[in-house]
């Protein structure tokens, strides 16, 4: 049986999305900016609230590697942004943060828990392209970097140990059997 990601995560993501909704009045770019920070913050907070220190550490490590690789590529490649303002287009740091959280939840807890986060991360990428700050290739590269770091550094959560006491009734024996799996 899978361990549920839990109510703390749902509450934190709901709060982040509400905050994003409030910022929507300022434009979709600001919503994407907010979500790019809210998704990883909510993910880390949820893991800590659940008491999954190992998961929190693995997420922090994979996020750090993702952001470091993204920055090294930005400084090495020096791709001009579509709006021409600077040469930090490839890859997208905003998308890297957002996809890092979504892919972590997928790897650690399963796709079912990550699906809404993938939608939110995709929205972040969409807002960056719509704002003329990135191309879709920048966003896809960020997701690939986050995926590589996360699948390398994050282990799937182990299900909680199952313990059962099973009655045993036989012709010459009555008793109980303790069964455990981990």
Neighbouring C-alpha atoms within 13 Å toward the C-beta of 3: 19
Report residue 85 as tokens. 């303002």
Q: Would you state the pLDDT for residue 172?
A: 81
pLDDT tens by residue, 81-115: 999 999 999 999 999 999 999 999 999 999 999 99
Q: What is the mean pLDDT of the chain?
A: 86
Q: What is the mean pLDDT of residues 29-40?
A: 89
- Asked whether residue 43 carries a pLDDT value surpassing 60, the answer given is yes
Query: Do the beta carbons of residue 74 and residue 88 sit within 8 Å?
Result: yes
Please name each of the domains of the chain with its CATH number.
Answer: 7-181 (1.20.144)
Residue 2 is predicted with a pLDDT of 45
| Mean local confidence (pLDDT), 64-90 | 95
- Partners of 178 in beta bridges: 165
């Amino acid at each position: 049986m899978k361990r549920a990601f839990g109510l703390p995560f749902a509450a934190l993501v709901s709060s982040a999305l509400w905050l994003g909704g409030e910022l929507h009045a300022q434009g979709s770019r600001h919503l994407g900016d907010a979500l790019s920070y809210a998704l990883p913050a909510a993910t880390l907070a949820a893991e800590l609230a659940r008491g999954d220190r190992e998961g929190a550490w693995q997420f922090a490590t994979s996020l750090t590697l993702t952001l470091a690789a993204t920055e090294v590529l930005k400084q090495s490649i020096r791709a001009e942004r579509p709006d021409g303002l600077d040469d930090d287009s490839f890859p997208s740091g905003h998308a890297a943060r957002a996809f890092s959280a979504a892919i972590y939840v997928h790897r650690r807890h399963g796709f079912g828990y990550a699906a809404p986060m993938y939608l939110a991360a995709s929205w972040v990428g969409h807002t960056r392209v719509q704002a003329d700050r990135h191309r879709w290739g920048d966003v896809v590269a960020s997701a690939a970097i986050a995926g590589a770091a996360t699948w390398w550094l994050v282990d799937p959560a182990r299900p909680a140990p199952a313990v059962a006491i099973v009655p045993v009734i036989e012709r010459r024996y009555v008793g109980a059997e303790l069964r455990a799996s981990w």
